[in-house]
Amino acid sequence: MSFDNMYQTPRMSSMGPGPQAPQGQGCGSPIPPTMQYQYPLMTSSPANGSQLSDMDINRIAVAVKNIMHGEIHQLVQDKMAPLVDCVQRLSDENKRLQRKVDELEMYSRRSCVRVFGVPEENKDTDTVVMTIAKKLDVPLEKSDLVVSHRVGKSDPSKPRPIIARISNYNARHSLIKGSKNLSKVDGMQGWSVNQELTKARSKVAYEARQLVKAKIAKSTFIWDGKIFVVDHNECKHLLVCLDDLLHLKLSTQRKESLKVLIHDIRSAQTAADEKAVVQKKCSSIRECIRDKDGYLYRGKNVSKLLYIHLLGYPIHFGLVECLQLIGSARNFSDKRVGYLAAMLILDETQDVHLLLICSIMYDLCNGTQYTQGLALCTMASINSAIWFQYLSTEVSKMIKSSDVYIKKKAILCACRIIRKDVPDIDTMEMFIPATQSLLDERNHGVLLTAVCLIDEMCEKSPDTLHHFRKVVPQLVRILKNLIMAGYSPEHDVAGISDPFLQVKILKLLRVLGKNNTDSSQIMNDILAQVAMNTDTSQNVGRAVLYETVRTILGIKSEAGLRVLAVNILGRFLINNDNDIRRAVELSFTLINANNVRGMMKELLSFLENCDPEFKADCCSNIVQAAESYAPDRRWHIDTIMKVLIIAGSSVREDVVSILIQLIAETNQLHNYMVQQLFKRIEDDVSQQPLVQVASWCIGEYGEKLVSGTCEEDEPVQVSEDEVVDVLEKVLSMNYCEEVTKEYAMNALMKLSSRFRTSIG
């Protein structure tokens, strides 16, 4: 009977009321608070109901079933625990007795050998054994051979083996050792002499040979009834039972280095072979993890899992192993592997990363400087908001550390905390006091990280930005010292003193000086010095100069300084070096309605001589800038047409439709445009977008081209035949695109109704 049926309350009979519950104990009586706490499902019964509903009955049945199930389960476990222990003891005793029986049986067989492959025609087995001994030059006397006979059932397909008891120990081992030479004796090919083994040891010997075939072991041999396996390090291992074999297999797999794993995976010829090798290695790692001694090889296993993870295979079964390695590492090498695994495998979306909080807290408080550095790097890499809530205080303390190595990493970790913007901690108030004195440091690494931290804080909070404006003179002094400093081999890069620190300081000055006249005024002199004294013959100098230009144009700098910045950009534009892409991008951001003509002239000149990799982006930006700041339609059309002439093959497809729409909407320029476009494609049809626009324009306004009327330029005298010839040339060119030919065909169809010349 199930629990559901066992605890169902019987329903009221239709013949009359059932037995009544005693007063105070019925269903309508209030349930004591203690019972309400223990059995919450029973508290939903009606206060004054005369009988239980089906829902209440089911709830009571479920509650009682759960209570009984838990109690019964606990009772069974309590009763079973001694039985399980007893079974385990009996199992261990059984294995011990089996091993003892095997040893006794092997003792009786140690003087026996088995001869395989001897045909059944040889009836006298004693003569066979003596003949083999004679052929192998083994001094075996007739008296040494106690007895010999064949064993097993007769089988026509193969001869039965011969078992022989030999009392002479030396002769017996010489016979076994020399049996490998039987293949060289005439008439004895296929014969062999082996040690007689028990059934259990025969199975172990077979499995040992399988290890050699699988290249897990180098070789195997049997001596005096004992089975030995030689590994690849020339170490011998004695195998008595299958448990010894399993331990040897696990031990060999554990000792396998990462180098061997990489070699085996890279040796795979196909993707399927690689997958099979990875699955085999993962299976070995799982077995090692489950083994009671697996913790000894945890570091090696995690390093293998990391390599497998980098190949794109799942290693979810090893996540906890990675975490345990961090907390239980016996040396720094293992701890480093554990932290590396955490950084590569975990992220804040995985709940398992929360298990690391205690380990990281312990390493931050009690570890060496390198262990603390690993913990800080892991915090910044995983970027967990929950971690930051618990560990931010420790990070702020470590910023004040006297150890430069720890201080740099703590500052960068603080940058990640501020960038994360954890809601439950006031990051600004926590880190501002620790940041105050960082700019007084002499170490450039600390200065660089401190500038990054202040930059992050200023970007996040206007109040913090206002607070740090008072350090502008200090930043200016640091930058001036970098410029005026002599040669320092520790910081010099291509003749520039620590360009990385210079770039970061310039960026921070731009943030602090934006929309602030006082701060900008303090920066003007140092920015002018950097702009005029920086060597631009190397990429390092150009990077510093580029950041200087951005800072000058981003603050309220003097007019002369802004002119200097624009001139520097002009020098960048005429430079053929590919590393000026950022200067070109900055040039487009500087375009406005007042300087569009001058800037566009420089950009078109740059477009004409720049490398092909720049043309597409430059064309797109020129078209966009012309559309935004064009002073009039004529200039707008001329600019886009120049882009098509210079780099028509690099423009977007929509530029053609943009120019066509502009021409169609500007009636007063129809004559001018049709003549200009005709002159451009008369001798050169290589720029496909330009040919498409010209074909459309000729198809629409071809009669104006033939009439030779143009208000602003000298009219072009063109006949109808010349117009048709140009369009037919477009159709005949093999390199012309399909779309271009469609434009030309459409133009000819339009002109056929307006020209007197026959088209076809």
Say whether pLDDT at 282 is over 80. Answer: yes
* Digit-coded pLDDT (tens) for 713-748: 555 677 778 888 888 888 887 777 888 888 888 888
| pLDDT classification of 45: cutoffs 50, 70, 90 | very low
| pLDDT classification of 581: cutoffs 50, 70, 90 | low
- Write the CB contacts of 539 (distance below 8 Å, at least 6 apart in sequence): 494, 577, 579
Instruction: Report yes or no on whether pTM surpasses 0.75.
Output: no
* Digit-coded pLDDT (tens) for 346-387: 888 888 888 888 888 888 888 788 888 888 998 888 888 888
Which of the two residues, 506 and 680, has the higher pLDDT score?
Answer: 506
CA–CA separation, 45 vs 282, rounded Å?
Answer: 56
Listing from the earlier edge strand, what are the strands of the sheet with 162-166?
145-150, 162-166, 112-116, 192-195
What CA dihedral angle connects 103, 109, 114 and 120, to 10 degrees?
-130
Q: Which two tokens stand for residue 574?
A: 């005429």
How many CB atoms neighbour CB 220 within 10 A? 20
Please give the C-alpha separations between residue 754 and each of 575, 672, 731, in angstroms, as whole numbers: 51, 20, 20
pLDDT, position 103: 82
CA–CA separation, 696 vs 743, rounded Å?
Answer: 6
Q: Contact at 8 Å (CB) between 162 and 188?
A: no
**Rounded (10°) angle between helices 472-484 and 499-513:** 150
pLDDT, position 657: 87
Q: Contact at 8 Å (CB) between 141 and 168?
A: yes
How many CB atoms neighbour CB 288 within 10 A? 23
Q: Are strands 226-230 and 236-239 parallel, antiparallel or unpaired?
A: antiparallel
Say whether pLDDT at 301 is over 60. Answer: yes
* Digit-coded pLDDT (tens) for 548-568: 888 888 888 888 888 888 888
Return phi, psi of residue 166, to 5°.
-120, 125
User: Which DSSP letter does residue 164 get?
Assistant: E
Which of the two residues, 111 and 584, has the higher pLDDT score?
Answer: 111
Which of the two residues, 9 and 695, has the higher pLDDT score?
Answer: 695
How many CB atoms neighbour CB 431 within 10 A? 25
Q: Which two tokens stand for residue 716?
A: 């072009």
- Write the CB contacts of 626 (distance below 8 Å, at least 6 apart in sequence): 596, 600, 635, 636, 639, 640
The percent of residues in the chain predicted with pLDDT above 90, rounded, is 0
E strand or H helix at 376, and its extent?
A: helix 369-382
* Digit-coded pLDDT (tens) for 647-691: 877 788 788 888 888 888 888 888 888 888 888 887 777 788 888
User: Which DSSP letter does residue 156 get?
Assistant: T
What is the chain's percent helix, strand, coil content, to nearest 5?
70, 5, 25
How many CB atoms neighbour CB 282 within 10 A? 18
pLDDT, position 39: 42
Say whether pLDDT at 515 is over 70. Answer: yes
* Digit-coded pLDDT (tens) for 243-259: 777 666 656 655 667 88
Say whether pLDDT at 10 is over 60. Answer: no
* Digit-coded pLDDT (tens) for 520-546: 888 888 888 888 888 777 778 888 888
- Write the CB contacts of 498 (distance below 8 Å, at least 6 apart in sequence): 444, 482, 491, 492
Q: Which two tokens stand for residue 102?
A: 């095997």
pLDDT, position 52: 63
* Digit-coded pLDDT (tens) for 596-608: 888 888 888 888 8
Say whether pLDDT at 42 is over 60. Answer: no
Say whether pLDDT at 583 is over 60. Answer: yes
Mean pLDDT of the chain: 79
pLDDT, position 47: 46
What CA dihedral angle connects 7, 11, 16 and 20, to 10 degrees?
40
* Digit-coded pLDDT (tens) for 448-492: 888 898 888 888 888 888 888 888 888 888 888 888 876 677 777
pLDDT, position 35: 42
Long-range contacts of 576-583 (CB under 8 A, 24+ apart): 576/609, 576/610, 576/611, 577/539, 577/542, 578/611, 578/613, 578/614, 579/539, 579/542, 580/542, 581/614, 581/617, 582/546, 583/542, 583/546, 583/549
Strands, E assignment, 442-534: 492-493, 496-497
Q: Among all chains, which residue has been given the structure tokens 């009988």?
A: 51
pLDDT, position 576: 59
Sign of CA dihedral 174, 175, 181, 184: positive
Q: Please give the domain boundaries of the chain with CATH numbers for all domains.
A: 1-10+25-107 (no CATH), 108-252 (3.30.70.330), 666-760 (no CATH)
Helix (H, G, I), strand (E, B) or coil at 670: helix
pLDDT, average across residues 267-288? 87
Q: Contact at 8 Å (CB) between 583 and 564?
A: no
pLDDT, position 386: 81
How many CB atoms neighbour CB 423 within 10 A? 7
Please give the C-alpha separations between residue 590 and each of 585, 619, 630, 639, 742, in angstroms, as whole numbers: 9, 16, 15, 18, 40
Say whether pLDDT at 43 is over 70. Answer: no
- Write the CB contacts of 326 (distance below 8 Å, at least 6 apart in sequence): 335, 338, 339, 342, 356, 359, 363
pLDDT, position 624: 86
CA–CA separation, 329 vs 363, rounded Å?
Answer: 12
* Digit-coded pLDDT (tens) for 143-188: 888 888 888 888 888 888 888 888 888 888 888 888 878 878 887 8
